[in-house]
């Protein structure tokens, strides 16, 4: 490689001079693929809560976070004032009661993570960096799951801290917190899978929001009606009956009922807690969740293979 | 000279934007679902009156109609504002209110086609003409659908987060809070629709929490006010950059 000193500095006196300062390539450290992926993850996670964006995009995520955590504080206050021996709502039930907020968070923020890149044509910019398509999908999926985990785990921790401060039984509380955390992880992973897959399909944000929410709400509504139908014709209306197979079509009921069955919550309080149809049902519900997550991830990878 | 509220070309383009490519298929989920559930329910031996109210009243009017109104109401105008193509429409020598009324009428008709028609068919299939239940629910769906379309069209003009706000209204206010707080139902388009339906059906076959004397004026006021406000908002529309 010729260095600048090899070249004649000037040709003839009195004429213009072009200095050859040489081409220097970047010599510093290269942070590489994993660093870029990590950056994308952090940026996605911050973006999900509107951090680093305009004030207006912080409003909704923060409102939902407050709507998830504040009722937990109120429940704890209720427990203390009434000197109850247990929390009014069990940890997994807390998540299923406030599941609507989690779903709205997902519906609002999954398109923020994916649709905006598609719409603004920034995908080529990402792929001009050392990250691969699979890295992009991995980072975005991890960011969505982590954001949902924050939304679901934070109120559980608030409940747990409150329960301990109120002097409730430590072992019982910790055990049920564990159930709640299992539910939180499953909700986050399964709902993210559904939400991201739908969001990746449309560059329009509003449309993505409506499609995700519509799918979750309608599938749950249809499942409830179907359960009512087969209950009436079958005669049995007890929880854990064959009619509960209807909930196979609704992702959030899938998680709720699976956790209730696996953690044995149905036995302690027989009413009003949804169950899977027997042990076989729990197995099928679990398998379906696995299938949803793996299938959605594979489809996402396929979606981003050519873009 | 009085102008007709509908402008043909705008209406044609709106319909194409709403139902063109694959989006029409997505909207078709609503009628397919309603008809399928009705057909399944008609084949079972359960209490048909209960089933009709559950499927067409709760699932249809309570869940599907607000969502359909949301997608259609924002779909006719918010998508155009979002991608900036509204400027080509605004640059035409058309009064802004005619753009709003044209788009609103397209939205209302689409909502009726995709929700009221299957409600009528499903109702007739399930419960026949007894008690006038099928017609009552169809009328309730129609008035609620029109009000939802107008309200969500206004949201689409007024805010960039129209869909999220609309979802918040339909799901959190009408469903979640309305379930616990009785007073919240007074300000719920769904309940106004039910109230109208109750007045048409023979007595005792439907229940509604809002009196007809309150529901009808509220429906009219909300629909008219939303249309006027949307016209005013569109007249002074500034295209903000995407945040």
- The reply to whether A215 falls in a domain is yes
Q: What is the pTM of this model?
A: 0.86
Please check whether residue B31 is in contact with residue B145, taking contact to mean a CB–CB distance below 8 angstroms. no
> Reduced to 3 states, what is the DSSP secondary structure of residue B77?
coil
Phi, then psi, of A291 in degrees rounded to 5: -65, -40
Residue among A256, A209, A205, A224 nearest B175 (CA): A224
What's the alpha-carbon Rg for chain A, to the nearest Å?
26
Task: Provide the CB-side half-sphere exposure for B103 (13 A, CA).
Answer: 35
Q: What is the mean pLDDT of chain B?
A: 86
- Region for residue B202 given its phi and psi (left: phi exceeds 0; alpha: psi -120 to 50; beta: otherwise): beta
CA separation, residue A7 to residues A3, A4, A24, A83, A172 (Å): 8, 6, 16, 89, 81
Q: Do A218 and B67 touch (CB under 8 A)?
A: yes
ipTM above 0.95, yes or no: no
A236 pLDDT above the threshold of 80: no
**Confidence at A48, pLDDT banded by 50, 70, 90:** very high
Name the domain count of chain A. 1
pLDDT > 70: percent of chain A: 91
Q: Could you say which of B44, B47, B79 has the minimum Cβ distance to residue A206?
A: B79
Q: Do B51 and A104 touch (CB under 8 A)?
A: no
For B156, the enclosing helix (H) or strand (E) is: helix B133-158
Please check whether residue A183 is in contact with residue A222, taking contact to mean a CB–CB distance below 8 angstroms. no
Using CA atoms, how far apart are residues B126 and B51, in angstroms rounded to an integer?
8
Q: Do B55 and A225 touch (CB under 8 A)?
A: yes
B155 pLDDT above the threshold of 90: yes
> Which is higher by pLDDT, A271 or A98?
A98
Please check whether residue B10 is in contact with residue B102, taking contact to mean a CB–CB distance below 8 angstroms. yes
Q: What is the mean pLDDT of chain A?
A: 86
Tokens at residue A45, please?
């996670």
The alpha-helical segments, DSSP class H, found in A28-54 are 32-48
- The reply to whether A9 falls in a domain is no
Using CA atoms, how far apart are residues A97 and B176, in angstroms rounded to an integer?
10
Per-residue pLDDT, B160: 81
Please check whether residue B88 is in contact with residue B141, taking contact to mean a CB–CB distance below 8 angstroms. no
Please check whether residue A227 is in contact with residue A246, taking contact to mean a CB–CB distance below 8 angstroms. yes
Across B118-126, average pLDDT: 90
How many angstroms away from the CA of B188 is the closest CA of chain A?
18
Using CA atoms, how far apart are residues A225 and B54, in angstroms rounded to an integer?
7
Contacts of B83 in chain A (CB under 8 A): 204
pLDDT tens per residue across span B12-55: 988 888 887 777 788 888 899 889 888 888 888 778 888 888 88
Using CA atoms, how far apart are residues A95 and A15, in angstroms rounded to an integer?
79
Using CA atoms, how far apart are residues B71 and A206, in angstroms rounded to an integer?
9
> Which is higher by pLDDT, B44 or A249?
A249
In terms of Cβ atoms closer than 10 Å to its own Cβ (0-12, 13-18, 19+), residue A206 is: buried
Minimum mean pLDDT range among A125-139, A194-208, B170-184: B170-184
Contacts of A104 in chain B (CB under 8 A): 164, 167-168, 171-172
- The reply to whether A227 falls in a domain is yes
A268 pLDDT above the threshold of 60: no
Interhelix angle A55-82/A133-165, nearest 10 degrees? 30
Task: Provide the CB-side half-sphere exposure for B24 (13 A, CA).
Answer: 9
Residue among B204, B119, B220, B107 nearest B162 (CA): B107
- The reply to whether A24 falls in a domain is no
> Which is higher by pLDDT, A237 or B83?
B83
Using CA atoms, how far apart are residues A165 and A75, in angstroms rounded to an integer?
13
Across A34-58, average pLDDT: 91
Contacts of B118 in chain A (CB under 8 A): none
- The reply to whether A151 falls in a domain is yes
Across B97-105, average pLDDT: 92
Using CA atoms, how far apart are residues A278 and A260, in angstroms rounded to an integer?
12
**Of how many residues is chain A composed?**
307
Interface test with A, best of B161, B166, B170, B240 (most A CBs within 10 A): B161
Q: Could you say which of A100, A211, A229 has the minimum Cβ distance to residue B40?
A: A229
- The reply to whether A7 falls in a domain is no
Please check whether residue A151 is in contact with residue A63, taking contact to mean a CB–CB distance below 8 angstroms. no
**Confidence at A12, pLDDT banded by 50, 70, 90:** low
A267 pLDDT above the threshold of 70: no
Using CA atoms, how far apart are residues B150 and B101, in angstroms rounded to an integer?
9
Across A16-21, average pLDDT: 83
Q: Could you say which of B58, B63, B163 has the minimum Cβ distance to residue A206?
A: B163
Neighbours of B25 (CB within 10 A): 10
Determine the structural domain holding residue A268 and report its residue range: 32-303
**Confidence at A232, pLDDT banded by 50, 70, 90:** low
**Of how many residues is chain B composed?**
243
Please check whether residue A177 is in contact with residue A95, taking contact to mean a CB–CB distance below 8 angstroms. no
Tokens at residue B182, please?
């009785």
Phi, then psi, of A261 in degrees rounded to 5: -75, -50
How many angstroms away from the CA of A75 is the closest CA of chain B?
17
Domain locations along chain B? 22-235
Using CA atoms, how far apart are residues A67 and A106, in angstroms rounded to an integer?
14
């Amino acid at each position: 490689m010729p260095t600048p000193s090899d070249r004649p500095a000037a040709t003839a006196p009195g004429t213009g001079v072009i200095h050859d300062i040489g081409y220097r390539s970047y010599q510093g450290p290269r942070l590489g693929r994993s660093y870029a992926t990590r950056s994308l993850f952090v940026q996605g996670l911050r973006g999900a809560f509107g951090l680093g964006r305009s004030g207006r995009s912080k409003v909704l995520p923060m409102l939902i976070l407050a709507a998830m955590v504040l009722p937990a504080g109120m429940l704890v206050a209720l427990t203390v004032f009434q000197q109850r021996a247990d929390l009014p709502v069990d940890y997994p039930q807390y998540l299923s009661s406030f599941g609507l907020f989690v779903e709205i968070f997902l519906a609002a923020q999954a398109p923020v993570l994916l649709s905006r890149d598609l719409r603004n044509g920034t995908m080529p910019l990402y792929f001009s960096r050392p990250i691969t398509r699979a890295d992009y999908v991995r980072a975005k999926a991890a960011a969505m799951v982590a954001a949902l985990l924050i939304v679901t785990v934070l109120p559980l921790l608030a409940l747990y801290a409150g329960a301990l401060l109120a002097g409730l039984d430590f072992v019982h509380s910790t055990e049920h917190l564990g159930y709640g955390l299992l539910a939180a992880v499953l909700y986050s992973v399964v709902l993210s899978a559904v939400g991201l897959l739908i969001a990746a399909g449309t560059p329009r944000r509003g449309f993505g929001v409506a499609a995700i929410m519509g799918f979750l709400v309608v599938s749950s509504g249809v499942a409830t009606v179907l359960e009512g139908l087969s209950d009436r014709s079958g005669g049995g209306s007890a929880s854990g009956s064959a009619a509960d197979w209807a909930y196979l079509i609704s992702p959030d009921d899938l998680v709720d009922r699976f956790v209730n069955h696996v953690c044995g919550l149905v036995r302690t309080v027989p009413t009003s807690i949804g169950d899977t149809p027997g042990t076989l049902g729990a197995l099928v519900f679990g398998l379906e969740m696995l299938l949803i997550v793996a299938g959605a991830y594979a489809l996402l990878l396929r979606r981003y293979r050519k873009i | 000279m009085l102008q007709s509220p509908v402008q043909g070309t705008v209406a044609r383009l709106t319909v194409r934007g709403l139902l063109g490519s694959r989006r029409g298929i997505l909207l078709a989920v609503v009628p397919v679902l309603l008809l399928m559930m009705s057909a399944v329910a008609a084949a079972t031996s359960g209490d048909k009156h209960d089933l009709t109210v559950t499927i067409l009243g709760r699932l249809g009017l309570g869940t599907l109609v607000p969502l359909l109104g949301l997608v259609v109401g924002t779909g006719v105008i918010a998508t155009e504002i979002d991608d900036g193509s509204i400027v080509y429409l605004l640059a035409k020598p058309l009064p802004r209110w005619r753009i709003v009324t044209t788009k609103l009428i397209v939205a209302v008709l689409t909502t009726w086609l995709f929700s009221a028609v299957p409600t009528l068919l499903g109702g007739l299939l399930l419960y026949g003409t007894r008690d006038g239940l099928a017609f009552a629910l169809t009328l309730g769906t129609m008035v609620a659908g029109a009000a939802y379309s107008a309200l969500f069209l206004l949201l689409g003009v007024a805010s960039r987060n129209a869909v999220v706000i609309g979802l918040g209204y339909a799901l959190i206010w009408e469903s979640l809070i309305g379930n616990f707080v009785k007073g919240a139902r007074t300000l719920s388009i769904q309940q106004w629709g039910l109230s109208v339906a109750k007045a048409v059906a023979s007595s005792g076959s439907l229940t509604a929490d809002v009196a007809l004397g309150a529901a009808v004026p509220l429906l009219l006021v909300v629909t008219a006010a939303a249309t006027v406000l949307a016209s005013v908002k569109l007249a002074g529309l500034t295209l903000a950059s995407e945040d």
